[in-house]
Structure 1
Amino acid sequence: MKKSLIFYNKTGFMTLLQREIHRFMKVFVQTIFAPLLSNVLYLGIFGGMLQTREVGIDGVNYLHFLVPGLVTMGAILASFQNPAFSIIVQKFQSTIQDLNSYPISDTEKSLAFILGGTFRGLLVGTLTYVATAFFVGFTIQQPVFFFISLAITSFIFASIGLISGLLLDSFEKMNFVLALIITPLTYVGGVFFEITKLPGVLSNIRFINPIYPLVNITRYTYIGAHEGNLFLQAVTAGMFLIGFFLTAVYIFKKGLGIKID
């Protein structure tokens, strides 16, 4: 009987997914509590210093503007780190080739790593929202779409994390991508301020920054207001979702970073 492309072995897929979730939950202080605490401190510091700052969106104060940015940032960083760290650890332990012997398809393997990262990103983002809600309230304009947006963001960056883990061979290189590429793009992606208020070329970065539309969409579902063309940003997010996932699966199937030539 012919198996489906994705679920060749559902039991094996669920086992690998549960392993990925269990792996980061065992050290939840580092993987969940630490980023949560950082985001709450961001709210306390930036919110305390700039709570009277005017936002270019009528009827929105700075704290409410800041929360969805922090939620998105927490989800991005957590979802990226999970599959990237998992793959590089296996390379460091010389167990990465064991993946070749798992009786599940390459698509299932990729999806298990990505969904593990997605779950961690969604968890960090949700807990950040809950923690900050004690300062700004629990109101969300579109709660269903808020969590869908958060899940999509986490899925995209979990896919990027898997790609990075497969292509990179050390924690130093992973941290380079995280510290010098993703984190700066997050800071100029609309987390702490409106991108349209930046001068000159800094404002135009939003057109090539994949984080900007994700932050903006999440902010819209949270406060009901946004910058720029929301439809175009939603299309862009959809393209990122499909593109990075297919790229991750392709790299996994090619065996880059796993198989010995």
Structure 2
Amino acid sequence: MEQQALDRGSLPKLQINRLRMDDIRAAFSDGWSDFRTYPAYGLFFGAIYAAGGIFIAVMLTYYHLPWMIIPVAIGFPLIGPFIAVGLYEISRRHRLGEPVSWKAILAEVFRQRERQLSWMAFVVLFIFWIWIYQVRLLMALFLGFRVPATLDAFVNVVLTTPEGLLFLAVGTVVGAVLATILFTATVISMPLLLDHDVDFVTAMLTSMRTVIENAAPMLVFGLVIAALAILAMVPLFLGLLVVLPVAGHATWHLYRRAITAT
């Protein structure tokens, strides 16, 4: 379902295509192929993401907030779509047969500060901060104001007390809702904004419509991405070196299958 490319300066009419499970498998396959073709670029962007996760974990430990490591680690993938902009550009250039170079890729990423993607970055970070603050609120409501001094103590309280289990259940539901909202609003809008000069509201609405009209395959895509991201963070975020670039490339290919611009 590869679509003919249009100039990014145009104002396209966007058509949402019907997706099948085969499209999801093909998107991941193409994403893996792009990563293998340009591994240095993928590892570079993956390293930025992994380094950010490690830095946050170290700082939380330094400031005696180790109990925040798990909530932050769970919410950290929420900002993945914005980090993946460089990966979208690599896949776009590869598909069009344009040269892929460090100068071209980094220049395009830097150029996004003047385009609508900067507004999407605000949306992504805003939802991430909502996640962090709701964790603190739920802790106060269910666990009181006695903050566990260590990560082990926090895990013990959450898994062995009725209040902790309720906190875990409610937090999981709230987190799932926030993640679903963000996924629905960004999975198509991020690559669309890179590909065409549309406003970010139009891009988000198009992304939401795409997810709603293709609920089953998009749900599978989102769950696979979430599962891979969580597994990738277990070994000190190092799995993100591979998972982030593959997921980013796959998202671009899914976008190309989901949207026709005329």
> What TM-score does the superposition give when structure 1 sets the normalisation length?
0.39
Q: Which has the higher contact order (CA 8 A, sep 6+)?
A: 2
